[in-house]
């Protein structure tokens, strides 16, 4: 089966984390393009340019300066043009509150930033393989938090 190129976005303020993520994507055997932004505001400024090509999935860090992930997620879901965008939360925080709030706001999956590169690769791979367009229908809180 031939699949189109998968457009991925990472929004994360931490340079090291962006490097790890880029390296992980490079090692996954899939046809992908990756764009990276350092905070929610930069991403929103970019994505709301008219006729902008939308990515299939956004990996969104929560704790960022200027516009944090939660505010960014809210704005994505409030924007009619962006509401179909799949959002994967990608955060160090494992607090129930953050998981609950992002779930309620309509994020598709929650990934705890892993502590090894191997786990990171596995997590990213798993998320990319899901066809989120169809997956949304049986979205529930039990499988919201991705376990690797």
Partner 1 sequence: MLDFNNHSFLNEVLKYSEGMISFFKPVYTKDRITDYELYFLSENFKKYIHLEIDLILHKKLSEVFPVIFQNGMFEIFNSCMNKADFEINFERRIDFYKNKVWFENKAIKYNEYILLSSKEITRLKSAETKLKQVLKDVEYNNTILNDSESISKTGSFRWNLKKNSWQFSKNMIAFFDQFQVTAKQYNNLGVFSLLNDTDKEKLTTEIENFNYYKKIENFNFIVINKLKTTTYFSLRAGFSPSKTGPILLGVIKDITEITNNALLLKSKNSELIKSNEELASFNQVVSHDLQEPLRKIQMFISRINSENSEEKNKNYLNKIADTSNKMQQLIKSILHYASLDANEHKFVELDLTTIINDTIDDLDQQIEDVHAKVEVKNLPFVNGEYHLLKQLFNNLLSNAIKYRKTNKDLIISIENEYFLEDTLNINNKICLSSKDYHKISINDNGIGFEQQFAPKIFKVFQRLHNFSESKGTGIGLAIAEKVIKIHQGLIDVSSHPNQGTSFYLYLPKNA
Contacting residues toward partner 1, per CB under 8 A: 13-17, 20, 38-39, 63, 65-66, 92-95, 113-118, 120
- Measured from the CB atom, the residue of 28 and 66 that comes closer to partner 1 is 66
Q: HSE on the CB side for 85, CA within 13 Å?
A: 31
Minimum distance, C-beta of residue 97 to partner 1, in the bound complex (Å)? 10
Q: Which is nearer to partner 1, 14 or 126 (CB)?
A: 14
Instruction: Output the smallest distance, CB 119 to partner 1, in A.
Output: 8
**Nearest approach, Cβ of residue 70 and partner 1 (Å):** 13
Which is nearest to 20 in space by CA: 94, 111, 114?
114
Nearer to partner 1, 15 or 83 (CB): 15
Minimum separation from the CB atom of position 116 to partner 1 (A): 4
| Rounded CA separation 122/40 (Å) | 25
Nearest by Cα to 95 from 71, 77, 74, 70: 70
> Taking a C-beta distance cutoff of 8 angstroms, is the pair 122, 52 a contact?
no
Question: To the nearest whole angstrom, how small is the minimum distance from the Cβ of residue 138 to partner 1?
Answer: 30
Q: Which is nearer to partner 1, 42 or 126 (CB)?
A: 42
How many angstroms separate the CA atoms of 103 and 126, rounded? 19
Nearer to partner 1, 78 or 83 (CB): 78
75, with CB counted inside 10 A (0-12, 13-18, 19+), is middle
């Amino acid at each position: 089966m031939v699949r189109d190129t998968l457009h991925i976005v990472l929004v994360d303020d931490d340079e090291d984390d962006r490097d790890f993520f880029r390296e992980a994507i490079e090692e996954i055997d899939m046809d992908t393009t990756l764009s990276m932004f350092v905070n929610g505001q930069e991403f929103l400024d970019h994505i709301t340019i008219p006729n902008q090509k939308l990515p299939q999935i956004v990996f969104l860090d929560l704790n960022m300066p200027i516009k944090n992930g939660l505010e960014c997620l809210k704005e994505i879901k409030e924007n009619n043009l962006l509401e179909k965008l799949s959002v994967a939360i990608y955060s160090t925080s494992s607090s129930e509150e953050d998981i609950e709030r992002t779930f309620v706001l309509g994020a598709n999956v929650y990934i705890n930033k892993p502590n090894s590169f191997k786990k990171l690769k596995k997590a990213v791979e798993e998320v990319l393989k899901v066809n989120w367009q169809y997956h949304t229908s049986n979205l529930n809180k039990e499988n919201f938090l991705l376990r690797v």
